[in-house]
Amino acid sequence: MGNFATPIAGAKSTTQALPIRPAARILVVEDDPAVQKALKRLFETEGYAVEVQADGQSAMESFQASAPAAVVLDLRLPKMSGREVCKEIKAHAPALPIVVLSAASDVSDKVLLLELGADDYVTKPFSPRELLARVRAALRHTARVPEAQIVSFDNISVDFRKMEVKRDGVPVILTAQEFKTFQFLVQNADRVITRDELLNEVWGYQNYPSTRTVDNHILKLRQKLERDPSSPTHFRTVHGMGYKFVR
């Protein structure tokens, strides 16, 4: 079941100090004024600072001046083509994530995007939410520090980069889906996670299996990782809610 319609009023309890980050700057390179406006509004309502440029040249200038955290780039631009802009930016800042907007025909082969150095792309009829999700993912990806990639606790150790899991020092083979599920649970340890949340976060945007599928994957994880699968200590079920992973 679930996110939220009406935030509860009067939640005047102890406000927890959340880590305040400066608004990430996003450079939008787009020539169509209508799309410019829409993109600006889209990202700004999400808390990003937006800078808009209409052509490749000013995009490059803006890029060097403001050092954005991510770039949203339309491939078809006047003056300097979007592809050149992409290459140029990647040459100067390889780590800077670039999400490309393109017509489906523009990227008939995805190889092209790789050459360009783009991190992700969305094709023509795209939903704003999807674009947002990709930009966020790109940001998250580059921002990921290589420290929390190995986690160990109890008798289990995980290396997220190598995709290796060991239990009592013995390698355990997890399938892709199992691993993703496991990773999400570990990275959200101690929190109650609903099946819907798992479906959304792990299974992703296109696939929507039933909630029982989640049960089965939890089952597998228990069988492979729990000392006593019949009384799980790590993969706990929260009746009527979902699951919770504890170390």
Partner DNA sequence: TAATTGTTGTCAAGGCGTTGTAAGCTTCAA
Partner DNA sequence: TTGAAGCTTACAACGCCTTGACAACAATTA
Close Cβ partners of 236 (under 8 Å, ≥ 6 residues apart) = 243, 244, 245, 246
Region from 54-62, 77-85, 126-134, 225-233 binding a copy of itself, contact rule CB under 8 A = 126-134
Residue 109: what residue type? D
Do the strands 156-159 and 164-167 form a parallel or antiparallel pair, or are they unpaired? antiparallel
Cα 30 from chain centroid (whole Å): 23
Are 226 and 233 a contacting pair, CB within 8 Å? yes
Per CB under 7 A, contacts with DNA among 8-37 are 9-13, 15
169 interacts with a copy of itself by CB under 8 A: no
Site membership for a copy of itself, residue 93 (CB under 8 A)? no
State which of positions 147-176 bind DNA (CB under 7 A).
173, 175-176
Task: Supply the minimum distance, in Å, between the C-beta of residue 59 and DNA.
Answer: 31
CA-CA distance, 143 to 100, in Å (whole number)?
A: 19
> Which member of 27, 72, 75, 107 binds a copy of itself (CB under 8 A)?
107
Q: Which residues within the stretch 180-209 sit at the binding site for DNA (CB under 7 A)?
A: 195, 203, 207, 209
Binding of DNA by 114 (CB under 7 A):
no
CB 75 within 8 A of CB 101: yes
Type and span of the H or E element at 122: strand 120-123
State the binding partner of 139 from a copy of itself, DNA, none, CB within 5 to 8 A by kind.
Answer: a copy of itself
For position 57 contacting DNA by CB under 7 A, the verdict is: no
Q: Provide the H-helix boundaries in the chain.
A: 33-44, 56-66, 82-92, 111-116, 128-143, 176-187, 195-198, 211-225
- Report the C-alpha dihedral over residues 78, 79, 81, 87, rounded to 10 degrees: -140
The partner in contact with residue 30, picked from DNA, a copy of itself, none with C-beta cut-offs of 5 to 8 angstroms by kind, is none
> Which residues inside 45-74 make contact with a copy of itself, applying CB under 8 A?
45-47, 69-70
Cα 6 versus chain centre, distance: 25
For the segment 182-221, give every residue that binds a copy of itself (CB under 8 A): 184, 186-197, 199-201, 206, 208, 210-211
Q: How far is the CB of 178 from a copy of itself (least distance, A)?
A: 10
Q: Contact positions toward DNA, by CB under 7 A?
A: 9-13, 15, 173, 175-178, 195, 203, 207, 209-213, 215-219, 222-223, 229-230, 237-242
